[in-house]
A and B are shown apart, each in its own frame.
Chain A
Amino acid sequence: MTRTVKRGSPMTKTFLNKAFILGAGLTLAACTSPDRFGSDSAVDLNNSAGSVAGSASDPTSPAYFQQAVGDRVLFPVDQHTLTNAAQSTLDAQAEWLLTNSDYDALIEGHADEQGTREYNLALGARRANSVHEYLVSRGVPASRLRVVSYGKERPLEICSTESCYAQNRRAVTIISIGTGV
């Protein structure tokens, strides 16, 4: 299962707990499915030096992806093309996903509140798709990626000025445990 997570929201703590559980689950899975994860990966998962598996300091953890790699890219008004900064973030996301191949990702596209509900749903889908296409172009298998649009339904910042709108025009890559497909 996947769930929507916003940095800085009350959900974050819950997410980290979930991530920890996911990490623990992986450790278990690695023991029972050595073929799938390979020995290197299994060693990483079990023995990340000086870090707790699943925490943000564990580079194989979703929390690390969210906080250190950067789980989101931002878009200009009414745009879905990727800025240079967005491409750099997505390069790092692609690298992480290729390294941590036991995870899948859900890409959420969002819009700010200026616009109709319908158009913003379509716009959010364009943004999520831009990220999807970029990650695939960097070698991430499309089978590991899904996209969803929330339009303007889930603003991260709730003020009605450009400072908030800029944060809300986003595509967020949410890491989930792989389906093994």
Chain B
Amino acid sequence: MDQTAELSYALDTFYFLVTGALVMWMAAGFTMLEAGLVRAKNTAEILTKNVGLYSIACIMYMLCGYGIMYGDGLNSFIPSIGMLGGDDNTAADVLAGGDDAPYYSNLSDFFFQVVFVATAMSIVSGAVAERMKLWAFLAFAVVLTGFIYPIQGYWKWGGGFLDEMGFLDFAGSGVVHMTGAAAALAGVLLLGARKGKYTADGRINAIPGCNLPLATLGMFILWFGWFGFNGGSELKVSDVGEANAVARVFVNTNTAAAGGLIAALLIARFSFGKADLTMALNGALAGLVAITAEPLTPTPLMATLIGGVGGLIVVFSIVGLDRLKIDDPVGAISVHGVVGIWGLLAVLLTNPEAKLSAQLLGIIVIFSWVFLASLLVWAVIKAIMGIRVGAEEEYEGVDMSECGLEAYPEFTQGIPSGGPGMSAQQLAASAMPTLGEPSKSSS
């Protein structure tokens, strides 16, 4: 019997760690999606933002975020602050049995949670892409991952007042996705649109992404990682009931993404006349966000419909935000914010325990908190160091101005080393002689 209990503990811990690792890989998904949807001259910078924010999230959440979110808390509104530490569970705790007996390692819980906060921050980077200063963004990442996210997380998953009121959010349509989108929206409003996106007479210009194969790969990586995101949020797999639940969550997550993709593809086909790939990618992600608040209770057919409605909403939301001149290069605010709200409301369709009042209150509280706190932080950063690059840097691409290198030096405008239309050979021969020589001698 003891051995069975220990084995279950090991299995659930293992499941938690593996699904956490799947969610970690979503960082790669966001990175590729964003790298594909920005222009070539801004690619290296968006990659730098993504690797930077992931690492900042890991460190800040370890230092204080986890303690805020899952600490004891002063009351149901005000969390406490604490650093990650303390002993893990002993075999005696596990074998004691009863409802309070731990069934997974404490550190596996930390690991699973830390990759979620990184996901929330990843959402922000796409929306502010191509014009925000790198270091202003990373400074914001410190505050969001260390404080803003964990505080609202405490209100729900940490057992705070939203949880007590019966607000339901299984894997984080609100706590993770809408949070990222609200922070992104605040940033975009203070930052303004990319130059050339909207003309003085009100026309909207398309600014196509540079690499749709990468964007597609990013979407599939996110889809893959989402099995960990939703599947792991079941928290347990080691008995028949839980194993079945996990399987249900996997199936629903998968089919919701499919529903979202097909819905967005069809709507794009009928509204724009063309099968717009980027909308289909956003549609799949919208389906995933939509099912995240409740992937367990719907039937697979219902999950497909919930995802499909997400895919429908996201197309109209992206077009609508563009009309409002809210420039979001990758559609992050629509995918994670607008559809996140839909996901939280869709809980009411299948979960008999859900209450409309609690869902609405959760949406309002989380959105208001994250939006207002982020707006304040962005404004402070703007006052201290500025959040937007200069017009000349934006024209030349933030790769050169922020990182001093380019993702595709042979294909971009070749600024400043090469000129437009110069071949790589000419570039190497004429513009970068001192760079060319040392690399030859060293090889």
Judge: A and B partners, yes or no: no
Chain B residues proximal to chain A, CB less than 8 Å: none
Chain A residues proximal to chain B, CB less than 8 Å: none
